[in-house]
Amino acid sequence: MELSPKQQVVEILKTKQRILLLTHKNPDGDAIGSILALYLSLKKLGKDVVAVCNDPAPAVFEYLPQIKEISQNFANGRDFVIALDVSQVKADKVMYKVVGDKLNIIITPATGNFTPEMVTTAAGSFNFETVVVLDSTDLERIGSPYDKNPEVFYEIPVVNIDHHAGNDQFGKINWVDITATSTSEILVSVLEALTGDPKFIDEDIATALLTGIITDTNSFQNNNTTPKSLTVAAQLVAFGGRQQDIIKYIYKTKPLSTLRLWGRALSNLRDERADRFVWTQLYKKDYLETSAAETESSGVIDELLKTAAGVDFALLLSEKNGEVHGSLRATSKNTDVSAIAKLFNGGGHPMAAAFQIDNSTLEQSGAMIIQKIKDYQSSQAKA
Ligand SMILES: [Mn+2]
């Protein structure tokens, strides 16, 4: 009988010893929570595990234990090969000795002599036996760990664990559960099946998993919140998950740079009442002058702009990485903002969507974007 994806995931995690964990770039709470929880769990099971993310975790997640263990590259996971050309001179014996700070590899020739020109070095194969990719719809979203080492994804089996509907099933094993609120929620059942021990999840693992569930449901406020996610969250609190820490650090305190940046977003707010939306913009200089990171604008639309009364949706335009990024949030279920994102080749859900204009600035494309949306809104009003 064929194993289910869940059984296959459990089987591979049980049998493999050297495991690489990856998640998507610009990590959010679920990316950070799921990779850290699986990292801590596999360590606890005695595995050799390395966790890598393209970007460091945003400062807000500092309350998570061992967050610094997530590194930005996995160069260490590769063998280093010293190769000796034996076409002329054959080797008889090879031994090594550590002398002070040096590892000496001693090769005794059968006849003749070896010379330095016969030695070359090369990168060997990866030490990992499997790679687990968390919360990422496709391999490109991983960023540089994938871009710089694409061969690793052909050489060893890839396990894909995700909850996004658009996941392109890039793994050898794909566990994509679109009914789960978060990758962290899926991991709770992975860990149960892997360890068979209901007490395995300790306070630190529970706090990481709870971070993923709380952030992906926006503290159980989003309409993707399911009865199951509430049950799982309650379990994690029972296991010692520090829910109050999560709420305090993520929702109740903000760096001053974030407050300054949000202040700019609010003071730039424009009211397009006739076309039933509000919008604002953040220039590159707004980030620089407030010392805010590009990720710090992400909450302003959900926490403030979306609360605007008397409109269908809110739009935030921001200059990031040489691109103009647009985030859209509907204020009611009667509006589908993914249709607006599609005007600019973006996408998302009816309540939350996004798009991106590559190689552009607000000065170049801001007016065009607003005009196109106004035209769309008035055509909808007539229809
Ligand atoms: Mn997620």
Say what the pLDDT of residue 299 is: 86
How many whole angstroms from its chain centre is CA 202?
23
- Number of domains composing the chain: 3
For residue 97, give the H/E element and its range.
Answer: strand 91-99
Residue 51 CA to residue 70 CA, distance in Å, equals: 5
CA of 30 to the centre of ligand 1 (A): 5
Residue listed under structure tokens 């994806």: 5
Same structural domain, 136 and 200: yes
In Å, how far are 119, 188, 209, 235 from 197, measured between CA atoms? 51, 12, 17, 14
CA of 28 to the centre of ligand 1 (A): 8
CA of 328 to the centre of ligand 1 (A): 18
CA of 183 to the centre of ligand 1 (A): 5
Same structural domain, 306 and 376: yes
CA of 96 to the centre of ligand 1 (A): 47
Same structural domain, 120 and 134: no
Residue 135 CA to residue 171 CA, distance in Å, equals: 13
CA of 31 to the centre of ligand 1 (A): 6
Same structural domain, 209 and 298: no
CA of 299 to the centre of ligand 1 (A): 16
CA of 76 to the centre of ligand 1 (A): 28
Residues 83, 86, 89, CA angle at the centre, nearest 5°? Answer: 135
Same structural domain, 33 and 151: yes
Same structural domain, 180 and 63: yes
Same structural domain, 172 and 278: no
Same structural domain, 210 and 285: no
Same structural domain, 61 and 137: yes
Say what the pLDDT of residue 65 is: 82
Q: Indicate which CATH number applies to the domain containing 152.
A: 3.90.1640.10
Residue that is last in its domain, among 125, 155, 188: 125
- Count of beta carbons in the 10 Å neighbourhood of residue 341: 22
CA of 166 to the centre of ligand 1 (A): 12
Residue that is last in its domain, among 249, 278, 293: 249
Phi, psi of 326 (to 5 degrees): -115, 130
For residues 88 and 112, is the Cβ–Cβ distance under 8 A? yes
Same structural domain, 314 and 204: no
If you compute the radius of gyration of the chain from its CA atoms, what whole number of angstroms results? 25
**pTM metric for this prediction:** 0.70
Residue 230 CA to residue 214 CA, distance in Å, equals: 10
CA of 136 to the centre of ligand 1 (A): 8
193 Cβ contact list (under 8 Å, min separation 6): 6, 7, 10
Residue 22 is encoded by which pair of tokens?
């990856």
In the chain, which residue ranges form alpha helices assigned H by DSSP? Answer: 5-15, 29-44, 144-147, 152-155, 183-195, 203-216, 227-238, 243-246, 256-267, 284-290, 298-303, 337-342, 362-382
CA of 125 to the centre of ligand 1 (A): 31
Same structural domain, 283 and 366: yes
Phi, psi of 55 (to 5 degrees): -120, 155
Same structural domain, 334 and 368: yes
Domain boundaries, position 337: 256-382
CA of 182 to the centre of ligand 1 (A): 5
Say what the pLDDT of residue 55 is: 92
CA of 208 to the centre of ligand 1 (A): 13
Q: Indicate which CATH number applies to the domain containing 308.
A: 3.10.310.30
CA of 74 to the centre of ligand 1 (A): 23
Say what the pLDDT of residue 1 is: 67
For residues 181 and 215, is the Cβ–Cβ distance under 8 A? no
CA of 85 to the centre of ligand 1 (A): 50
CA of 281 to the centre of ligand 1 (A): 26
Say what the pLDDT of residue 76 is: 54
Residue that is last in its domain, among 249, 279, 296: 249
CA of 211 to the centre of ligand 1 (A): 11
Residue 282 CA to residue 260 CA, distance in Å, equals: 12
Residue pLDDT tens, the chain, 383 long: 688 999 999 999 999 999 999 999 989 999 999 999 999 999 999 999 999 999 999 888 989 989 999 999 876 566 788 899 999 999 999 999 999 999 999 999 998 899 999 998 887 767 899 999 999 999 999 999 999 888 889 889 999 999 999 999 999 999 999 999 999 999 999 999 999 998 999 999 999 999 999 999 988 988 888 999 999 999 999 999 999 999 998 888 888 899 999 999 999 999 999 999 999 999 999 999 999 988 889 889 988 898 899 999 999 999 988 899 999 999 988 899 999 999 999 998 899 999 999 999 999 999 999 999 999 999 987 76
Say what the pLDDT of residue 77 is: 60
